[in-house]
Amino acid sequence: MIKLIQELNIRNFALIDEIQLELSEGLNILTGETGAGKSIIIGAVSLVLGERGSADVVRSGANNAIIESAVDISLNRSVHRLLEEADLYSREDDDTLLLARQIASNGRSRCHINGRLATISLLKDVGDLLVDIHGQHEHQSLFRPEKHLELLDSFGGLVSLREKVTEKYTHILRLQSELVNLERDRKARLREQEFLEFQLNELEEAKLQAGEDEKLLAERKILNNAETLFELANTVYAKLYGSNEPEDFAIIDGLKSLGPSMSKICQIDGELKELDERLKSCLYELEDIARLMREYRDRVEFNPLRLEEVESRLDLIFKLKRKYGDTIKEILEYQANVAQALDDLSLSSERISELRNRIDKATEEARKISFELSEKRRECSKKLERLIERELHTLGMDKTVFRVLVEKKEARWQDGKGRGGSFPTIENNGKQYELGPDGIDEIEFLISPNVGEELKPLTKIASGGEISRVMLALKTILAEIDEMPTMIFDEIDADIGGRTAYVIGQKLKQIAKVRQVLCVTHLPQIACMADAHFVVEKKVYSNRTKIEARRLNKEERVHEIARMLGGQNTEITLAHAKEMLERKWEK
């Protein structure tokens, strides 16, 4: 047997000053007078497992309510993984998990796991893996078809296959959302593409080169001053080599005339040979300068057509600078950016085509998995129907017919378009079916409690007692495959009595062989099945009401069962109570 919840400590909660309960493995029963506070204890358990709470639960006059629980997680690897991811557990830690919840009178809540602060969402995630709570109002979940789908998939071991469908469904939605956004912006992208293509064509036709404007400006300056440059260059050349004018003095000829004198000086004083060499070097240098100046003079061109071309090119560059950048470097960078933007827009068109192909592929994959899931659900539904009917017959509903309706949901819009945009649809044999996160099926439990009555949804035919028994039948069947280690039933026996109550007790006992069960009941037929029996009482001390709870010994159990049988402990009720317990103990 499993003993998951080991201890439960409740302080300053509603009418509770302090309650400490050590739960047993197997079937734990809570009994007490109507209004004694049994459901308050269940409410405290819900809070320590992460349910929402408010300041209303804090006992009058107290600063805060505190609920603590010690639970055994040695067999729950899912909880291990969850806590390891949150850095709240390691394999070296003890397998007893300490959960704590504190709610202050101002409504603020604090959660602790193993003494470390935790979020309410993490506490709830842990609680959802540990305990399944069913109260009178929880039975209403059976009225919701989505709950029927969950139960059928759990029974058939189809949860992992359903999760694959969910993964495909989410993937398709994500692809469709991206496709819708791209197609919605298509006109704007086309306008942008036309504008960018115009700019790119203009820039590519210009064929700008880095530094081109500086070279053109220098060339324009030369062309504008060609005549002056020719005259000046010619003057320099004439000064160096002379001209036909008699008054012009040729500098080079003058230097040459110094040669004989320098040679004679060097013959007399050899120390001046260096000066002679330097004079010769000056002569050679001036001759070279004169040659280069003559060539430059001859190259100077009076070209009005070229000047016009340069002016036109500079005008174009100036216009491009006004539009695209202050320098040619900035213009070329802008050109590269425009080219990249056009590539991106082209990729967007390719992306649309790619998305459509990916959606088609993902939809086909989803179709295969969804139809596989649907077929397995149909197979499992027949088996579940037989088992539920068998359980219901043992619970006093021997004429009941129970059916699991599994129908494929046809798409409301056969073009696959919904009012809010696209939603996934899959096609098979000419029909389109709407794909949801749980597949293509709509599942609903139908029941006919009496011979000759047609099958109807649970909401339209089932009484409170019938719903309780349907839930118990499901839990009995699912107990061995359900991973939930602890189940809590808050007065699941509403509207039930007699032999059926005794059978319900046996069913709870059967579930308790593989799960820890905590059950609130007002029926002695169920209470007598307990492995651990707790009584909840409301008492008044010094004009203050408080709720107490304690575990009963064998003798105390006899008196409590007798009270539940007849209200007062008479010899008859005590004898009957003792007999009921002895039958249970003998078993």
Full 3-state SS string of 464-532: HHHHHHHHHHHHHHHCCCCCCCEEEEECCCCCCCHHHHHHHHHHHHHHCCCCEEEEECCCHHHHCCCCE
**In this model, does residue 76 exceed pLDDT 90?**
no
| Assigned domain for 230 exists | no
Adjacent-strand bridge partners of 70 = 7, 98
**In this model, does residue 116 exceed pLDDT 70?**
yes
* Average pLDDT value over all residues in the chain: 85
Top pLDDT among 105 and 462 is at 105
Average pLDDT over residues 508-521: 89
Q: What is the pLDDT of residue 78?
A: 82
| Assigned domain for 68 exists | yes
At 368, the pLDDT band (50, 70, 90 cuts) reads very high
Adjacent-strand bridge partners of 441 = 408
Phi and psi torsions of 59, nearest 5°? -60, 140
Across 118-132, 319-333, 337-351, least confident range: 337-351
Average pLDDT over residues 58-70: 93
As a whole-number percent, the residues of the chain with pLDDT over 70 amount to: 90
**In this model, does residue 302 exceed pLDDT 90?**
no
Query: Which residues span the domain enclosing 21?
Result: 1-25+33-130+532-551
Phi-psi category of residue 377: left, alpha or beta, with phi > 0 → left and psi -120 to 50 → alpha: alpha
Q: What is the pLDDT of residue 464?
A: 63
Q: How many other C-beta atoms lie within 10 A of the C-beta of residue 1?
A: 12
| Assigned domain for 96 exists | yes
Across 182-191, 197-206, 286-295, least confident range: 182-191
| Assigned domain for 543 exists | yes
Q: What is the pLDDT of residue 364?
A: 92
At 187, the pLDDT band (50, 70, 90 cuts) reads confident
Pairing of strands 486-490, 516-520: parallel
**Contact call for residues 155 and 443 (beta carbons, < 8 A):** no
**Contact call for residues 78 and 127 (beta carbons, < 8 A):** no
Q: Give the CATH number for residue 81.
A: 3.40.50.300
**Rounded CA separation 335/524 (Å):** 88
At 140, the pLDDT band (50, 70, 90 cuts) reads low
**Contact call for residues 441 and 149 (beta carbons, < 8 A):** yes
| Assigned domain for 4 exists | yes
Adjacent-strand bridge partners of 550 = 535
Q: What is the pLDDT of residue 418?
A: 39
Average pLDDT over residues 253-276: 86
Top pLDDT among 455 and 470 is at 455
Top pLDDT among 324 and 134 is at 324
Q: What is the pLDDT of residue 419?
A: 36
Length of the chain: 587
Q: Report which listed range, 349-358, 379-388, 420-429, 570-579, is most confident.
A: 379-388
**Rounded CA separation 469/395 (Å):** 7
Pairing of strands 116-118, 131-135: unpaired
Top pLDDT among 250 and 8 is at 8
Domain count, the chain: 1
**Rounded CA separation 534/557 (Å):** 9
Average pLDDT over residues 471-483: 74
| Assigned domain for 102 exists | yes
| Assigned domain for 578 exists | no
| Assigned domain for 57 exists | yes
Q: Note the pLDDT tens digit of each residue in 334-346.
A: 999 988 887 777 7
Q: What is the pLDDT of residue 510?
A: 87
Residues 6+ apart with CB under 8 A from 144: none
Q: Is 427 helix (H, G, I), strand (E, B) or coil?
A: strand
